[in-house]
Each structure stands twice: as C-alpha cells, then as structure tokens.
Structure 1
Amino acid sequence: MTEQKTLRSQRWLAREDFRTFNHRSRFMQMGYDRKDWEGKPIVAILNSWSEFNPCHMHFRQRVDDVKRGVLQSGGFPLELPVLSLNDALIKPSALLYRNMLAMEVEEMIRCHPVDAAVLMGGCDKTTPAMLLGAISSDIPTVFLPAGPMLRGNSRGKTLGSGSDAFKFWDERRAGTISEAEWEGVISGIARSPGTCMTMGTASTMTAIAEALGMALPGASSIPAVDAAHQRMSVQAGRRIVEMVHEDLRPTQILSREAFLNAIAVAMAMGCSTNAIIHIIALARRAGRMDVGLDDFDRLSRQVPVLANIRPNGTSQYLMEDFYYAGGLPALMNRLSSFLHLDEKTVSGGSVGSNIEDAQVYNDDVIRSVETAVYAEGSLAVLKGNLAPDGCVIKPSAMSAKFLRHSGTAVVFDDYPSLKAMLDDPDADITEDDVIVLRNAGPKGGPGMPEWGMIPVPLKLVRQGVRDMLRISDARMSGTSYGACVLHVAPEAYIGGNLALVRTGDTITIDVPARSIHLDVGDEELARRRAQWQAPPPRFERGYGKMFIEHILQADQGCDMDFLTTQAGASAGDPDIF
C-alpha cells in the first residue's frame, strides 16, 4: 500500500468522485494547488490565540514558526482556530468551558482532512482541554506550550503573577501600602506575553504535558518571548510530520506509567491543586481508569518538592529562573529514580533518553532530593465524613500550624454573603475558626470557580493574620497559597455532607493522617439530610444546561460522562457520511 492511500487526508482528496472534486476545488479556491497537498501529511495547527487571551498573544506569530517546520519536513500546514480560554477574564470559571474546548478539538480534528495536529495552548485550561480532545481523536499530536511570561517588576521588587497579587491585595486591605504602590503592582506584575510565571496551573499543566511525553523535551520551560521558543515551535512543526510516518499517536504514549510519571513530576514541581482534576480526566480519556486520587496521595508521600518556585515555601524564584537553571529535563533527571524511564514520548525517544544529559545550573532553584524544598509532595488528599470521595490541600504552600487543626465552622452558602463577612471590620470570626464555602463545586459553581483561596477576613488582616483554615467544594488558582481545603467531593450542590455543615459545628483536619472530619454524629447528619433541599438549577438552556446534567465530580476529573472512554466510540470514519 502506498503512503498516499494510508494518509487519512487522502480520503478527502485522492479519489475520483464528485465529493473529491468539491474538496479539491475548495482547496484551490484558497490558492493552493495539487503540489501543496498531494502525497503530503496535512497538519492542522490548532491555535487558541485570541485578543482576549494575553497568555497567547505571541501565538499569532508562533503559528508561522510551526508552519515553517512542517514545510521543512514535507508536510502541508493549515491553521485551525479554536476556542481560547483565559482564566483571568472568563466568568464564572474557565473550567466550565474546558470540556467545550475539548469537544471542539476532538470534532475539528475528526471532521477535517488532517493527518496530524499541533496543539498551541498554555493558559490553565487550554492544555488539558486540547489534550483531552487529541486523545479522543487519536491522530499524531504534539502539544506546543505557550511558555511563561517574564518575571514581574515594580519599584525594584520582583513580582510573581497571582501569588504576589494576593499578597499585596491583603496589604492594601490592611492599609499598609499606598495607592501608587498598588498601581505599580497592577502595571508591573504581568509585562509580556505568556502564562503565569509562578508555579500556577499553567506551568503545572504544561510540565505535565511534557512529562506525559506529549510535548518536546524542555518545551514547557521556555519563556514565551525567548528566541528559543521560536526555535522550539519550528522543531514541533518538523517533528509532527515525522510522527505521521511513524504513526505515533497519543494512545501509544499515554500508558498508566506515563501518568504516574506526570504525577511524580507534578509533585516535584510543587504543582497546582488543579493538576489532580486534569490528570484524572486525561487518564480516563486514555482508558486508564485505574489512575486516581490514591496514586496522588501515594506519590505525594514519596516525592519531594524540588522546584523552588513561588508560591511554594518562601521562594524568590520564578519560571524564568527555572528555565535558566535547566528547566524540566534537569528536574526530571534529578527525579529519575521515581520515574518510568522507558515510556515513549513525541520526540521519538524514551523519557530516559530525553533527560539523560540534562544538567542543573542552579542548585537553589532546582534542588536535589537531599536538599528538597519540602520533604513530601506538593499535595495531600484528605478523606473523612466531610469528604467521603476526597478533597485536596497544598501543604507546601500553607502555614504549618494548620496541618493539624480543629475549629468552629463559619458557613456560607454563596460567595456574596461570604464577601460581606470578609469585608466587615467587625465580623464575628477568629483566626482559629474554619470558614466554609459551599455550592461552588462542578455543578454548584457552576464549573468550580477559583473561590477556594478565600481571603482572610479584613478584621483578621488588620490584626496581622495571613493564614487560616478554609474549606470549600471550589478550586483555587495554582498561584494561590494558604490552608485551603478544596474539591470536597461529593459537592454540596448534589447533597454531599458539606451541605449539612452548620455554623458552630467543629471541623478537624489532620494532614499527616490524611483525614478531615465533621464532629457531628451520624444520627444528627441523617436528620439534617432529611431537611436538606437541593438548590435551583444554575442553567436552564444551552451549554451550561448540558454541563450541569453531565459533569462528573472532582474526584472523577470533571469530564462529561458521555466523553469518557467508557461512554463508547464516536463515528470516526468520514467515508460513511
């Protein structure tokens, strides 16, 4: 069989029938001729650029670099715009639309005459969304990370996006910084294209894409505006054409061991709490139903935090420093005893061969196992009667005194009522109390807004308090920090035990023991459950209605129930239509 007959795109373009005539004529309408496509892999460049997404501002130019690489290797590149999700601007939550982008990527690949795809993403939800769609469509795919922005700067101080925004906001609320200082933070904290340069969700997820083997070695660490990012984009274009000839597809790369590598790397990076939701969703799309919360907790106990990057600990370093220190290959080299080194990657080599020559150039930025930032992994999974299906906390970015804590619950059913208390200088609350926010989960939010890093109440901020225990079924930004228990499952909106907590109840957490407990008897909980009434629907039409009806819980990855591998196959062969 000739290559021309094996290329998927040739089903549209290489036959002698009326439909093929129509396909060819439309290509020629765009100015292409037969030499552009005949016998060549057609590579779709799925570009999530938009003028509402500052993280992807440079993609307008980078797509030309990818095209250059595709042409150099004998492919035919075509740009295919897709939904652009920017976490800072989309309300109520970019997670609400993660699955919408995943569906678009899958269907755009399936319905067009393409043989391979380069995915251009990076802002928090675009990475998992694009990978979810690519896994389900399963053609040769390379993920191209947007890269982190340059470090922030104001009045001679280095600023980290998100993390320092939260810190200075508390100082402004406390009245300790001037309006001019605050304006300097606003204008200086994000000063180039690229994703957050702290160890937030964006850098976490692009590192996970690389650790999974779906991005080129070192790609996730390169700053967005560095010339090396342009070169990497060209390399991705060249490599994707080679992958077509090798028939190297996501399902051949994404083994259970690949996901265990991703979890280990995430822990060593001091990852965002959002990593749990996205990795579980990706694993389920790849048919790895045995990847779950227990794997995160086990590896969390084994793998230390090696990346000394804000918001972990008291680090002064940001992603730009991480890149200069050797980037992800250097960290993975130091982590190699925890990794499955024989796993395949899009480079054509194994994980082991990709990292064997990587070196660390700054031992304070990328620590050794012996000098780790934090002895255990970044995240901890807690379970108990308040979260039977689990919840998550980030011990590496919180005050140690709350690792074991009992306090009185102060409960809020919605964010507006919570905010009123937070801004009240005379609020009835103490540092030892436990703030509880509910109805902010996958269905209740909807889409799990990043409300989980609940600000410390103004009354306490003015007293010098900067951390306290907070519990919710929401998420928090990966740039966030503090003693925040998140992703409580099942969520309150569907009747999880979080819905039964009352102000005045005692809640106890023990992070070393991985437990969370509502100190209320079973009989009393049963009585409260009998009185509980479900909140009204958040949406009554459109995508939002579909989302609420089909979204899975946080411990299952927040994918749609009809998009998982177990839901069955979709019509993949264009010949039948």
Structure 2
Amino acid sequence: MTFNPAKWPRKLRSQEWFGGTGKDAIYHRGWMKNQGYPDDLFDGRPVIGICNTWSDLTPCNGHLRELADKVKNGVWEAGGFPVEFPVFSPSESALRPTAMMFRNLCAMDVEEALRGKPIDGVVLMAGCDKTTPALLMGAASVDLPAIVVSGGPMLNGHFRGERVGSGTHIRKFNEAVKAGEMTQDEFVEAEASMSRSAGGCNTMGTASTMASMAEALGMALSGNAAIPAVDSRRRMMSQLTGRRIVQMVKDNLKPSDIMTKDAFENAIRTNGAIGGSTNAVVHLQALAGRCEVPLSLEDWDRCGKDVPTIVNLLPSGKWLMEEFFYAGGLPVVIKRLGEMGMLHKDALTVSGGSIWDEVKDVQNWNDDVIVPTEKALRKSGGIAVLRGNLAPNGAILKPSAASPDLMVHRGRAVVFEDIDDYKAQVDLEDLDIDETCVMVLKNCGPKGYPGMAEVGDMALPSKLLKAGVRDMVRISDARMSGTAYGTVVLHVAPEAAAGGPLAIVQNGDMVELDVPSRRLHLDISDDELAARLAQWTPPVSRPAGGYAQLYHDKVNRADEGADFDFLVGRRGNDVARESH
C-alpha cells in the first residue's frame, strides 16, 4: 500500500526519531536499515509496536510468535510499519515463587519500552494470567493507542470419557488421590490429556477471565476472548487487529478514551456473569490505578452483587472454553447484560464504536453453555466483598464457586502461620480439625509471601477427604487460581505481614462468615483484639536485596491492586531528546 503522510492529521511520534536529515535521524534510520528496511518505511507512516510476551517457558504464550506474524500482515496491509519487541514474560506454570510477583516487573518493562522507543501505537500480545493485566497496565500509564490480542484457550482435555479442565481437574484428581479414589498412576496417566494444544487454560480461569476483561473493557476486538488458540479464526482476529491499530493511531484513540469508569463497571458485571476469577479484582484494581479511574471494592460489590452467573463453565459449571466459543462467546454475555439493564451501552471500544453496537445482533447457539437468566448458576454472582474486624480493608469470596450451605458459617479456627506451616501440618493424623472448622492461613499476602501466591484454596486434610468432606471455609491473605473452587475467603486486607488482624488469629478462636451480610468477624472483644495487635511483632524473615526487596518495600495492599506505589497513575509518552 502506498503511504501518503499528507493524509495524516498530525506529525507522528515516531518522526521524533526517524524524521528529517539531522545526525540523530540518520543514526536511528541507519541502524534500523541493517535489517533490510527500505527508505520509504521511514516517510512518516505509523510505526506499530508488537509487544510480545512469547516465551518457551510461558506455555500459554508459546504460539504468540505465529500470531504476531499475522498482526504484522494486518499492519502492512493498513499502511503501517510493524516492529516486534519482547518484554518480560511471567509464566504462570513455571515461575517461582509466583508469577504475580513479576506482574509489576512486566508492566514496568512495557511502560518503559513504549515510552523510550519510536512507537506510535501498540498491539499487546498476551495470554498467560499475568501478561494481560501487565501489558494493559504498562500501556495505560503511557497512553499511546493500544489494542489487545489474546492467545486464546487450549482445546478441551479428555480422560476416560470425562471432559478435563485445566487446573480444575488437577485439583479434583489430586483430592481423589488423597481420598484413595484414584491411584497415583492414574493421575500421571491423566496428565497427557490436560494440555493437548497451544493456548491458555480451557476453564474460566484467570487467563480466560482476563481476556474477557480486556474485551469487556473495550480494549480488544469483539469476540477476541474465547476463540481457541489453534482455531484459524484466532489468526484472522490477529490480522484484523493489526489493521485496526493503524486506524486507531490515525484517530489518536487511546486507552484513556476507552478505559473509563463506565468501562470498568462493564467489566465487573461481565466478571460476575461469566463466573470469572477472583484474580480479576486485584488486576482491575491495579489497572484502574494506572488509568486514574477511582475504583474501590465497594464498586465490585455494588456492580456485581445482583449479576446472575449465566456461563456454565468450569470451575463454576460443567463446560469449557471451546463450548463457550461455539455458543457465541463473550459478545452473547455482554448482550445479555445490556438486555438486563446492566451495561453502559455507550462505552467506547477499540473498534471506534460503542460496546452495544458490537454485540446487539449476536445470537446464543447453546443455552446449556450460556444459560437463560432464569436458570442462572447463581442468581447473585459477582464477587462478594466482606468486611469486619478480621478484614478492615476488605476481603473477597467468589459465590459461584462456593458451597451454598457454607455461605453462613461459624467455626473454630485452625491456624497455619505460613505456607510451610500449612504443608507440615495439614495431613497429620493428629491435627485437631473437623469439617466444621475454619482453616486460616497467614503471611501469604503481597508482602508476606512476596507476590501473594495462589495458595488460598488450601487442600483439605487427607483424613477429611477420605471421610467424604469436599469443602470447608478457608480464609487467607493469599490469592487462588481462577481454576480453583470452594468456599474460600481471599485477599484479606490489611495482610498479616503488615499487621492486619489476620496476624493475631489463634487456634480455637471462633470465626463467623456471613456472605449475605458481607461480614467476616473474629469473635473476640475489641479490647482483646487491640491487646493482641499491640503485642504483635512483624515476621523476622524478609527479602534481602534484589527485585524481591523492591516488591516487598513498594507493593501496595491487595484491595489497591498490589501495584507498586510509585507506578500508580499515568505518566504519558513524552521522552527527552538525546544527542549522539
């Protein structure tokens, strides 16, 4: 396509590097030309960054190199100049101590790369759980035109006639082994059926949830979230996205234009309707902070409390992402929210039109996957935000994955001081615990277990699993995987390591959970609570140097998104000139 810079409404940012005949421009162009780029690519056409989290060590994103090539095709077709670059890729399945510890590092990488390089707009190539929020966070702080391409979910797993969902069935099979209902050899045999194609989790885990959040926020083309990774339509979506970003640069359509308060409220309601991951809370809180949009846990409760869960997918339901796509995917869910009066229909999307215009004509092709509202899995889904003397700054619970009979419960606390204490005690035959107890895990929040690992869905003691117990109330300052399930209270804030009330819970204390009343209460007097807190001392161990110490010292609370305090806000894309 012949490019005519005279038809563009303004001088592009990349021309600060490539425009003119001065020494600096010649320096920048000259080095780029060692890759074989011809002169006319530097004539003022938009330079489109392709920000790629591909990595052999991030299996969910292992196919993003192929998708990036399709994005490039689209950029070329629309008259742009595509340039691909890597950023840190936090792998959910392989990175220790937890990928969440490195979400902020990835976001920093994205932000500085976008600001410091000759880029006019960017396509964000994401897939694994933390890559989607990290890329959006970095792009929001720079505020250049940006659009998301998700890697998509892997195909369904199958084992001995049973549909196998990523993560969810690992937990199910592990519990079956501990209960004596499945052999270890059978568990190993099932491994081959769990991840049989490229892509992210095929359940409504955090990867698929965050892809859905990107679409609901308006930051991805309609239909992006659910297309299987290996479906040809995923490649087509990538190419169309490459075309679209060029027009977004021409229109100067930026994240700040799209990710408004209305957009976040749409995403919160969408999360309730899909039975999305609890991790969406901490990620959207952090993203809102970057967008300078005021968003609180109260907004999650207000917007999500009355949203019915209508997507019948594991871990809340029975189907997987493949069936969700065939049923019509996220556009059907967003349309249903609009029909129920639960959607800000005028919210702008990367398409340049409203979110309602994108979905108003779609159809549901399977009402057992996307169920009628009157048959909702939960009449009131969303995220329940709990408060009380045990969680002054809030805690959360996912009702669609919890046991209805445990939503109001009072039980004796069985306390684990940290994850190592839990692992040492949980399967001891003499552990004083029964199904009425409340399992309490401390020191696993953002500071206490740097990164706030996904250990909140504590596996139940073997002796109780063997007795047929499958759920108990569990409380912690940790997170849990979006593929997990159970009556699990998470993200208790302030966390134990920061001196929150969770730190002073003792074995034998009575704990009350009342989800309908949004209450989480430690049944001791105010005087006793104050006395215990006065005697509390911080944990002795803390990171000694490196990124772990930066994380420990600068991370904010879970209810604030666990971002670094110095990264909150929008810093823009201006960069100082240099001279060579």
Q: Could you tell me the TM-score, scaled by structure 1's length?
A: 0.97
Quick check: 2:142–2:573 contact (8 Å CA) kept in 1?
no
Distance 1:122 1:284 in 2: 22
Q: Is the 8 A contact 1:46 1:117 kept in 2?
A: yes
Cross-structure match for 1:331: 333
Alpha-carbon distance in 2 for matches of 1:183, 1:444? 33
Deviations 1:341-365 (A, max 9, x none): 1111001111010001111000111
Provide the rounded CA distance (Å) in 2 between the counterparts of 1:226 and 1:570: 37
Superposed counterparts of 1:138-287, under 5 Å: 138-287=143-292
Aligned-partner residue type, residue 322 of structure 1: F
Once the two structures are superposed, the pairs formed by residues 476-495 of structure 1 within 5 Å of their partners are 476-495=480-499
Q: Is the 8 A contact 2:9 2:250 kept in 1?
A: no
* Partner Cα distance (1:4, 1:245) in 2: 7
Match of 2:428 among 415, 424, 428: 424
Equivalent residue runs for 1:44-55 within 5 Å:
44-55=49-60
Letter in 2 for 1:316: K
Retained in 1: the 8 A contact 2:268–2:382? no
TM-superposed CA distance for 1:421, in Å, is 1.8
1:286/1:570 Cα in 2 relative to 1: closer, same or farther (>3 Å)? closer
1:49-98 superposed Cα distances (whole Å, 9 cap, x missing partner): 10101101111211111100000000010110111112121111111100
Are 1:98 and 2:103 an aligned pair?
Answer: yes
Amino acid at match of 2:551: F
* 5+ long unaligned stretches in structure 2: none
Cα-to-partner distance string for 1:12-56 (whole Å, 9 max, x where unaligned):
011222111110110111211212232211111011010101101
CA distance in 1, matches of 2:559, 2:498: 14
1:178 deviation in Å? 2.4
Runs of 4+ in 1 over 6 A off after TM superposition: none
Q: Distance in 2 between matches of 1:576 and 1:331?
A: 49
| Alignment-mate amino acid for residue 196 of structure 1 | C
Q: What does 1:407-556 correspond to in 2, within 5 Å?
A: 407-556=411-560
Q: CA deviation at 1:107?
A: 0.4
383, 389, 395: which one aligns with 1:385:
389
Distance 1:379 1:29 in 2: 52
C-alpha distance in structure 2 between counterparts of 1:527 and 1:332, whole Å: 50
2:398 alignment partner in structure 1: 394
Answer yes or no: is 1:17 the counterpart of 2:54: no
Distance apart, 1:538 and its partner CA: 2.4
- Following TM superposition, by how much is the alpha carbon of 1:537 offset from its aligned partner in structure 2, in angstroms? 4.7
Contact 2:305 2:382 in 1 (8 A): no
Q: How far apart are 1:570 and its partner, in Å?
A: 6.5
**1:316 pairs with 2:318:** yes
Give the match for residue 124 of structure 2.
119
Distance of 1:18 and 1:502 partners within structure 2: 69
Q: TM-score, normalised by structure 2?
A: 0.97
Corresponding letter in the other structure for 2:390: L
Conservation of the 8 A alpha-carbon contact between 1:4 and 1:39: no
Q: Is the Cα contact below 8 Å between 2:19 and 2:42 reproduced in 1?
A: no
Determine the C-alpha separation between the residues in 2 that align with 1:181 and 1:504: 38
CA distance in 2, matches of 1:130, 1:228: 23
Residue 160 of structure 1, CA deviation? 0.5
SS in 2 for 1:512: coil
Tell me the residue number matched to 2:571: 569
The one-character-per-residue Cα deviations of 1:224-283 (angstroms, maximum 9, x if unpaired) are 000000000000000001111111010011111011001010110101111111111111
- Percent pairwise identity: 47
Residue 222 of structure 1 deviates from its aligned partner by 0.4
Counterpart contact for 1:473–1:491, Cα < 8 Å: yes
CA distance in 2, matches of 1:173, 1:492: 30
Corresponding residue number in structure 2 for 1:65:
70
Contact 1:341 1:352 in 2 (8 A): yes
Amino acid at match of 1:503: N
Question: Which residue, 347, 371, 374 being the options, matches 1:343?
Answer: 347
Residue 7, structure 1, aligned to residue 8, structure 2: no
What amino acid does structure 2 have at the position aligned with 1:441?
G
Deviations 1:535-562 (A, max 9, x none): 1352121111111111110111111111
Which amino acid letter does the alignment assign opposite residue 206 of structure 2?
Answer: T
CA RMSD in angstroms, aligned pairs only: 1.4
**8 Å CA contact retained: 1:426, 1:459:** no
Q: Deviations over 1:390-427 (max 9, x none)?
A: 00111111211110111111111111211122222332
Unaligned runs of 5+ in 1: none
Distance 1:527 1:338 in 2: 46
Q: Contact between 1:27 and 1:33, CA under 8 Å: does it hold in 2? A: no
Shift of 1:571: 7.2
The code of the aligned residue for 2:71 comes to: V
Matched AA of 1:362: N
